[in-house]
């Protein structure tokens, strides 16, 4: 098959000796920051910058150009001796770190690896690099600074010291181009393809009309170069960011002030790939674009490659999609056909296993109903299955601490309990809270301490449940949880009548499985009959706060 037009240009290789593939392959041995990007803290960055400056005292200037609200130093690296200035900055949002290590890797490679391409960049360009503009936000892994202001929406008020610093650097150096490096929602897709957007690009407009100035034309050529560079590594995973003019944003205003901006948004990586690939791609893309700028101002790049990229689309990708099942939950008394889609909102530090990552994130149900238009990291058919909310139960007295262990809570969780209310006397409450806090874990029933006289749930657990053989019928699970005291109410259909009490829901509370609620539910399989009694249903799987517990936990 012969490829023509923009697609052929998109897939065309780079010049030998400085190819994207060579840069990609060499990155592991050239990288400066060994820790994953979400784990990099300001103090660690400061040590790395000092080491870089000490290694290249004649060719790298390290300057403290300002301080954050909390007094953390913000540093500027200057390298190269060319007349054309390019400014690059990362982590304007503290929880968007993927490009921060890449900037150090680029600086280290340019100064430490003698190659004609590197020499050309340093001879023709002067690079101004701010690797962490929002160190206070980075320290808490939050978007905003310590004033609770989004720095990227502070271009006009300039209420933040970080925003004032960025504006002052622009005015001081008047760079011809800027690279604004961010991370976007990891569930953004490329148009309606269902493919995750690993990178989104934008040649930022300087006015509401999208006027094509010479500088913005250069930015579009850079975006085309980046799209061609990234394409072999994440096929179909390159999108165009929202181009709507934002009068408060720094990128839009910097472009208006005379420094056209290229926005690079790092998104998700394909399933099975490491988030370190986001840093790796930024490294490859930035070096490739800088070389093209130095060589011939990317004169041969076709802006139509960038303009032909599909736009970012949000809201079309979920972590888990359970499709084809029927839901039975109060206040309904009959099952109804509905897909259930949800996300597990672990933050990047938890996914990267950073030492200070904190607790796992909550789940969030995104859709109950028709999920056919959603793409998903995991699709599971629940055809001929019944979905119900997970159960709530009670435990009595501080004496339960003799058996309330991680193992016991895991066993309770496997039997379908999401919430466990621990009723203790007032004098014992603090001791119970400390025990409960130690036992909390993702995918485990939540242990909630309550007053001894607080209303009890219908399920009361007297001790650690015995092992239940597979397949676990709903009846055997309820008997195990209650020490054999549970009795199925007479009449039909008993399960729909019992669910109101089993899930701990008030009669007028509405459904538990609903958008924005946490995803704690059971997937039940019929043993063959059409009845809705507990004896004819088997617990096929349990999801607690979005995590599948399963029999093997």
Q: What is the pLDDT of residues 59-71, one digit of tens each?
A: 999 999 999 999 9
Percent of the chain with pLDDT over 90: 84
Q: How confident is the model at residue 469 (pLDDT cuts 50, 70, 90)?
A: confident
Average pLDDT over residues 520-544: 86
pLDDT tens readout for residues 27-84: 999 999 999 999 999 999 999 999 999 999 999 999 999 999 999 999 999 999 999 9
Question: Does residue 420 sit in the same domain as residue 520?
Answer: yes
Total domains, the chain: 2
Q: At which of 263, 290, 313 does a domain end?
A: 313
Q: At which of 292, 313, 334 does a domain end?
A: 313
pLDDT tens readout for residues 284-307: 999 999 999 999 999 999 999 999
Question: Does residue 254 sit in the same domain as residue 347?
Answer: no
Gap between the Cα atoms of 86 and 19, Å rounded = 22
Q: At which of 287, 313, 339 does a domain end?
A: 313
- 3-state SS track over 289-334: HHHHHHHHCCCCCCHHHHHCCCEEECCCEEEEEEECCEECCCCCCC
Question: Does residue 408 sit in the same domain as residue 485?
Answer: yes
Q: How confident is the model at residue 12 (pLDDT cuts 50, 70, 90)?
A: very low
- Residue 33 falls inside a structural domain: yes
Residue 343: predicted pLDDT? 98
pLDDT tens readout for residues 105-121: 999 999 999 999 999 99
User: Does residue 551 have a pLDDT over 80?
Assistant: no
The range of the structural domain enclosing residue 247 comes to: 18-313
Gap between the Cα atoms of 29 and 52, Å rounded = 16
Provide the CA 497 distance to its chain's centre, in angstroms.
Answer: 40
Mean pLDDT, the chain, as a whole number? 92
Question: Does residue 379 sit in the same domain as residue 517?
Answer: yes
Percent of the chain with pLDDT over 70: 94
Question: Does residue 297 sit in the same domain as residue 369?
Answer: no
- Residue 474 falls inside a structural domain: yes
Residue 87: predicted pLDDT? 98
Question: Does residue 279 sit in the same domain as residue 356?
Answer: no
pLDDT tens readout for residues 319-339: 999 999 999 998 888 899 999
Question: Does residue 262 sit in the same domain as residue 410?
Answer: no
| 323 or 498, which is more confident | 323
CATH of the domain at 156: 3.40.630.10
Question: Does residue 336 sit in the same domain as residue 275?
Answer: no
Question: Does residue 242 sit in the same domain as residue 376?
Answer: no
Q: Hey, which residues does 326 pair with through a beta bridge? A: 337, 386
Question: Does residue 352 sit in the same domain as residue 444?
Answer: yes
Question: Do 88 and 130 meet the contact criterion of CB atoms below 8 Å apart?
Answer: yes
Name the 3-class secondary structure at 355.
coil
């Amino acid at each position: 098959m012969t490829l023509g037009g923009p697609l052929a240009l998109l897939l065309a290789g780079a010049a030998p000796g400085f190819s994207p593939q060579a840069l990609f392959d060499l990155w592991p041995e050239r990288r400066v920051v060994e820790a994953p990007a979400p784990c990099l803290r300001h103090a660690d960055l400061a040590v790395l910058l000092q080491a870089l400056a000490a290694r290249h005292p004649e060719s790298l200037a390290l300057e403290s150009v300002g301080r954050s609200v909390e007094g953390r130093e913000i540093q500027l690296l200057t390298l190269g001796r060319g007349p054309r200035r390019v400014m690059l900055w990362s982590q304007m949002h503290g929880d968007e770190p993927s490009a921060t290590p890449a900037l150090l890797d680029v600086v280290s490679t340019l100064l430490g690896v003698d190659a004609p391409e590197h020499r050309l960049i340093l001879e023709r360009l002067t690079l101004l690099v701010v690797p962490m503009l929002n160190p206070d936000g980075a320290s808490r892994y939050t978007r905003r600074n310590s004033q609770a202001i989004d720095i990227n929406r502070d271009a006009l008020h300039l209420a933040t010291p970080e925003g004032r610093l960025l504006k002052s650097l622009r005015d001081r150096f008047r760079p011809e181009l800027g690279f604004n490096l961010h991370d976007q929602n990891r569930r953004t897709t490329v148009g309606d393809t269902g493919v995750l957007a690993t990178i989104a690009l934008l040649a930022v407009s300087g006015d509401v009309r999208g006027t094509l100035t010479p500088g913005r034309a250069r930015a579009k050529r850079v975006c085309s170069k980046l799209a061609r560079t990234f394409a072999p590594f994440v096929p179909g995973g390159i999108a165009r960011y929202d181009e709507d003019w934002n009068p408060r944003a720094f990128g839009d205003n910097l472009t208006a002030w005379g420094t056209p901006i290229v926005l690079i948004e790092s998104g998700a990586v394909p399933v099975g790939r490491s988030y370190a690939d986001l840093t790796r791609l930024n490294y490859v893309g930035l070096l490739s674009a800088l070389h093209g700028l130095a060589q011939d101002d990317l004169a041969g790049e076709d802006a139509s490659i960038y303009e032909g990229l599909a736009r970012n689309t949000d809201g079309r990708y979920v972590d888990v999609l359970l499709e084809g099942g029927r839901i039975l939950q109060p206040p309904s008394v009959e099952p109804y056909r509905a897909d259930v889609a949800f996300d597990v909102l672990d933050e990047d530090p938890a996914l990267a296993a950073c030492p200070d990552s904190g607790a796992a994130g909550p789940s969030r149900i995104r859709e109950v109903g028709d999920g056919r238009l959603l793409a998903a990291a995991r699709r599971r058919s629940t055809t001929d299955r019944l979905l119900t909310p997970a159960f709530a139960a009670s435990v009595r007295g501080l004496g339960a601490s003799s058996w309330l262990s991680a193992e016991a809570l895991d066993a309770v969780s496997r039997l379908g309990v999401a919430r466990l209310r621990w009723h203790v006397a007032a004098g014992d409450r603090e001791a119970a809270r400390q025990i409960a806090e130690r036992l909390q874990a993702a995918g485990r029933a939540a242990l909630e301490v309550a007053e001894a006289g607080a209303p009890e749930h219908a399920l009361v657990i007297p001790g650690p449940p015995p092992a239940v053989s597979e397949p676990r019928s709903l009846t055997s699970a309820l008997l195990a949880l209650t020490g054999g005291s549970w009795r199925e109410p007479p009449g039909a259909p008993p399960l729909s009548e019992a669910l109101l009490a089993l899930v701990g829901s008030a009669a007028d509370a509405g459904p538990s499985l609903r958008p924005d609620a946490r995803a704690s539910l059971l997937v039940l399989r019929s043993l063959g009959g059409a009845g809705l009694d507990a004896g004819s249903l088997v617990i096929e799987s349990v999801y607690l706060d979005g995590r599948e517990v399963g029999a093997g936990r």
